[in-house]
Chains A and B, each alone.
Chain A
Amino acid sequence: MTDPSYTPDALIGQDIAAYLDGHRRKTLLRFITCGSVDDGKSTLIGRLLYDSKMIFEDQLAALQADSKRVGTQGGEIDFALLVDGLAAEREQGITIDVAYRFFATEKRKFIVADTPGHEQYTRNMVTGASTADLAVILIDARKGVLTQTRRHSYLAQLVGIRHIVLAVNKMDLVGYDRATFDAIVADYRAFAASIGIEAFVAIPISGFKGDNVAGRSAAMGWYDGPTLMEHLETVEVDQTAAQARPFEMPVQWVNRPDLDFRGFAGLIATGSVAPGDAVRVLPSGRTSTVARIVTLDGDLNRAVAGQSVTLTLADEIDCSRGDVVAAAGDPPPVADQFEATIVWMADEALLPGRAYWLKLGTQTVSATVQPPKYVINVNTLEHLAAKTLDLNAIGVATLATDRPIVFRPYAEDRELGGFILIDKLTNATVGAGMLHFALRRAQNVHWQPTDIDRAHHASLKNQRPAVLWLTGLSGAGKSTIANLVEKKLARMNRHTFLLDGDNVRHGLNRDLGFTDADRVENIRRVGEVAKLMTDAGLIVVTAFISPFRAEREMVRAMMAPGEFVEVHIDTPLAEAEARDVKGLYAKARAGQLKNFTGIDSPYEAPVDPEIRIDTTAMTAEAAAEAIVVYLIG
């Protein structure tokens, strides 16, 4: 064991200026540790901190006390207690979230993400891996390559980590046996090759005893490779690769302190830039040249990937947040339909067809995901059929954005190829993805402008198009009221069309059932049809349960502002069930009808509808009258 107390570098005492000068030139390596529960990740990180002299006397004293009180090492120092931060985790004895730790050696500075081995926390591993240069995959020497080892290796590969270290831990518990180590490495090599990991470095260690972590192991003279610390200190960091690519900078913020200055602030994703360089602003495609690279410390002659800068351009061209300033000669492509691998991170499954926020670089757009082509069983790497993505599922799917975005394939550039998906109602980050390529159909299908436009259609009919969207429980009275509304409007010579939920399911949507995903697609299609009808100048009346707020908002967003009128036909569940005109509630209660809204499928009532009809206080006739008055005035 190494000296337990903190012993600083001798140079610090002798010549602090020289020490600091050396320290400030150090590079940074970000890495993650991953492995199964009980593989000893936290113990290894604690050991790295301890061996790199990051543990102070007071922390050591607290650690010794904690080790006696709650430790799992029979009173010996339990390094895991150093890093298992949250109270709940201490009690369970496992790490449940991503924690970041910092240490430095004489050669380099490190940021390590401690990521969990628990199966249900794949999302945390992907999170930690997204910013890492290197991954340490831990294996318990007594157990060998486990299902979760495969999972973690696959994820590290998926996220694009180029440097993999296989740390075969707990060698002390197998008598430092070389044959055990060799067998595990051979086993892992076969697996690694199958998922495209070309190279890895295998090191036999004991995090608990310290063998081959910082110091060489006396017990494993048969191993002549680097210690873990030596490897971390010398492995090459990939700054060169990013800087060699064409210049690209997503614009974060436009800096306009006064009328004379207009700067574009951002973090350079790839390449380098200098005043005089020809650039192109995407997606517009306009070109200019870089005038200045402005900083508080004076203008720069050159800036490179990884630096945050403010650029000014020689010409006054449109450029705002979300745009990308790129090398004029090799700009990134622009598209609105993609194939991507998506990791799902929320308890609530992906709803294909539902609109989510997609954030990529500094662009935030609305996006819908198609049902996955397949999901990947990360244990067997089999491709399985699936209709959705559940928590921790990884699938390949196509997605469409509501406007074109600037991108690069993730394999070329993490910054313009990685994205997150955000639920529009809860605002939670529900997924993360990696773009592979744009679909050709997005590039080849263009919008065809027509000469007789929607305003012309509407003026011929002498009316303002609108969608009266009736939503409510089954049996609330939607169809009855919708029918009365249409009759009243027809008498007033208004051109209308009624889209009824049951009727649509006989034709256009006959292929859809009543799962959440099918309900979303049902409403999306009806929304598109209603939109075409408003383009034709019609007043559309719809009668659909449309139970989810997100889809109603999606349809609202499809329409011109003010044309979508949400009408909540508000009938209490008990009342609708008592009426039970079609006998459906009885069937649902008897278990003969699945996914019935109000019984075993939720209804999300409108928060702020344009019109609310309380059917317990109003006849259908009066309700229809109120809706017509709202529309016509």
Chain B
Amino acid sequence: MTDLTHLERLEAESIHILREVVAEAERPVMLYSVGKDSAVMLHLARKAFYPAPPPFPLLHVDTTWKFQAMYELRDRAARAAGMELLVHRNPEAEARGINPFDHGALHTDLWKTEGLKQALDKYGFDVAFGGARRDEEKARAKERVFSFRSASHRWDPKNQRPELWHLYNAKKAKGESIRVFPISNWTELDIWQYIQIEKIPIVPLYFAAPRPTVERDGMILMVDDDRFPLRDGEVPVERSIRFRTLGCYPLTGAVESEAADLGAVIQEMLLTTTSERQGRAIDKDEGGAGMEKKKQEGYF
């Protein structure tokens, strides 16, 4: 008798999901955002298909506004996994110079939501893996592991396919697609602990270090490159900071911290008293229904 731990059961479940997709989809792809959840998902994919490399490409829907350190890890991780890396930037957003400083919500909508739809259509991917977790947000708690999308990428939360046992229905009509979330049942602590046990490389920004920052609208922002427009009187200040989540650097708030290794980061996370997505501006729009609405429109 071997008692499997909760992490062993989660790992086995995720690998099973990854393999089901590869067995049933015509053209799967893995959405890779370079964050810690993506890092775990990629690692699970390497385990699922070893000794073969994962038989699908990685897709990064880029906004051009990610942290420099994210771009560096992205290219390295794809090489290490032996996988093709596709990078898509919405040409319209690029042409119009859409940025988080001047365009607010339009930035997320054009670069991420529209960019993702464009990329999926361009390459004809019928299934896309995403690293979302059910513990992140209320709308995600109710989403299926295999989340069906109409030909126009819409999610219909009232018409989801029942998921029983380990049986996933991957059937779909031409033009329709499925978003699959292999780490649906992982929590933030699971992710961190797995990264520690499996020694998975993550972006150094998750660890505290002295970095140039400004404080704006109650958030500590990192001045990651010279595109950061300083307001009158703003002078970047060096603070020891780290990030709990990573996105576009002008939209991602840092926390002041001295936690420079995994043990310390996990310790700080467990001792902290605010939820994980505090640092991200996206969920606060439109009351509690912000994420649900975005998901219906095609946001991952």
Write the nearest CB–CB distance from A444 to chain B, whole angstroms.
30
Interface-located stretch among B227-235, B248-256, B264-272 = B264-272
B68 within 8 A of A: no
Write the nearest CB–CB distance from B181 to chain A, whole angstroms.
11
Q: Which residue of B6, B16, B166, B271 is within 8 Å of A13 (Cβ)?
A: B271
B282 within 8 A of A: no
Can you list, as one digit per residue, whether each of A73-85 has a CB less than 8 Å from chain B (1) or not (0)?
0000000000111
Q: Which residue of A98, A244, A308 is within 8 Å of B48 (Cβ)?
A: A308
Cβ of A295: which chain B residues have Cβ within 8 Å of it? 47, 50
A23 within 8 A of B: yes
A124 within 8 A of B: yes
Interface-located stretch among B18-26, B32-40, B99-107 = B18-26
Can you list, as one digit per residue, whether each of A1-42 has a CB less than 8 Å from chain B (1) or not (0)?
000011011001100110110011111100000000000000
Indicate if the CB atoms of A66 and B288 lie closer than 8 Å: yes
Cβ of A253: which chain B residues have Cβ within 8 Å of it? 19, 22-23
Q: Considering only CB atoms, which chain B residue lies closest to A59 in the complex?
A: B275
Indicate if the CB atoms of A304 and B51 lie closer than 8 Å: no
Q: Which residue of A56, A131, A265 is within 8 Å of B273 (Cβ)?
A: A56
Q: Which residue of A56, A302, A307, A422 is within 8 Å of B4 (Cβ)?
A: A307
Q: Which of B1-49 contact A (CB under 8 A)?
A: 1-13, 15-16, 19-20, 22-23, 46-49
A622 within 8 A of B: no
Indicate if the CB atoms of B6 and A109 lie closer than 8 Å: yes
A339 within 8 A of B: no
Cβ of B96: which chain A residues have Cβ within 8 Å of it? none
Cβ of A345: which chain B residues have Cβ within 8 Å of it? 162
Distance A432 CA – B163 CA, assembled complex (angstroms): 9
Q: Which residue of B142, B165, B169 is within 8 Å of A418 (Cβ)?
A: B165
Q: Which of B170-217 contact A (CB under 8 A)?
A: 171-173, 184-185, 187, 189, 193, 196-197
Indicate if the CB atoms of A265 and B48 lie closer than 8 Å: yes
Write the nearest CB–CB distance from B284 to chain A, whole angstroms.
10
B52 within 8 A of A: yes
Write the nearest CB–CB distance from B147 to chain A, whole angstroms.
13
Distance A574 CA – B171 CA, assembled complex (angstroms): 37
Indicate if the CB atoms of A130 and B165 lie closer than 8 Å: yes
Write the nearest CB–CB distance from B218 to chain A, whole angstroms.
12
Measured as residues with beta carbon below 8 angstroms from the partner, the interface class of chain A is 35 or more
A275 within 8 A of B: no
Cβ of B79: which chain A residues have Cβ within 8 Å of it? none
Q: Which residue of B12, B50, B157, B267 is within 8 Å of A86 (Cβ)?
A: B157
B141 within 8 A of A: yes
Q: Which residue of A9, A86, A296, A310 is within 8 Å of B46 (Cβ)?
A: A296
Indicate if the CB atoms of B139 and A307 lie closer than 8 Å: no
B263 within 8 A of A: yes
B152 within 8 A of A: no
B158 within 8 A of A: yes
Cβ of A99: which chain B residues have Cβ within 8 Å of it? 141-142
Cβ of B167: which chain A residues have Cβ within 8 Å of it? 359-360, 418-420
Indicate if the CB atoms of A111 and B185 lie closer than 8 Å: yes
Write the nearest CB–CB distance from B156 to chain A, whole angstroms.
11
A87 within 8 A of B: yes
Cβ of A96: which chain B residues have Cβ within 8 Å of it? 158
Indicate if the CB atoms of B12 and A267 lie closer than 8 Å: yes
Indicate if the CB atoms of A86 and B173 lie closer than 8 Å: no
- Contacts A85-B292, A97-B142, A257-B51 given; does A307 touch B8 at CB 8 Å: yes
B76 within 8 A of A: no
A170 within 8 A of B: no
Q: Which of A290-319 contact B (CB under 8 A)?
A: 294-296, 302, 304, 306-308, 310
Q: Which residue of B13, B51, B266 is within 8 Å of A20 (Cβ)?
A: B266
Q: Which residue of A28, A88, A415 is within 8 Å of B6 (Cβ)?
A: A28
Q: Which residue of B2, B52, B289 is within 8 Å of A257 (Cβ)?
A: B52
Can you list, as one digit per residue, whether each of B123-167 has a CB less than 8 Å from chain A (1) or not (0)?
000000000001100110110000000000000011011111111
Distance A25 CA – B166 CA, assembled complex (angstroms): 24
B278 within 8 A of A: yes
Q: Which residue of B7, B16, B197 is within 8 Å of A267 (Cβ)?
A: B16
- Contacts A253-B19, A308-B15 given; does A56 touch B1 at CB 8 Å: no
Distance A97 CA – B138 CA, assembled complex (angstroms): 12
Indicate if the CB atoms of B141 and A101 lie closer than 8 Å: yes
27 A–B contact pairs at CB < 8 A? A12-B270, A17-B263, A19-B270, A28-B5, A56-B274, A58-B274, A86-B142, A86-B292, A88-B157, A90-B289, A100-B134, A100-B185, A102-B185, A102-B187, A127-B163, A239-B3, A252-B20, A253-B22, A255-B49, A255-B52, A256-B52, A295-B50, A296-B47, A302-B2, A306-B12, A422-B171, A427-B171
- A-B pairs with lowest CB-CB distance, top 6: A85-B138, A257-B52, A308-B15, A28-B6, A427-B171, A130-B164
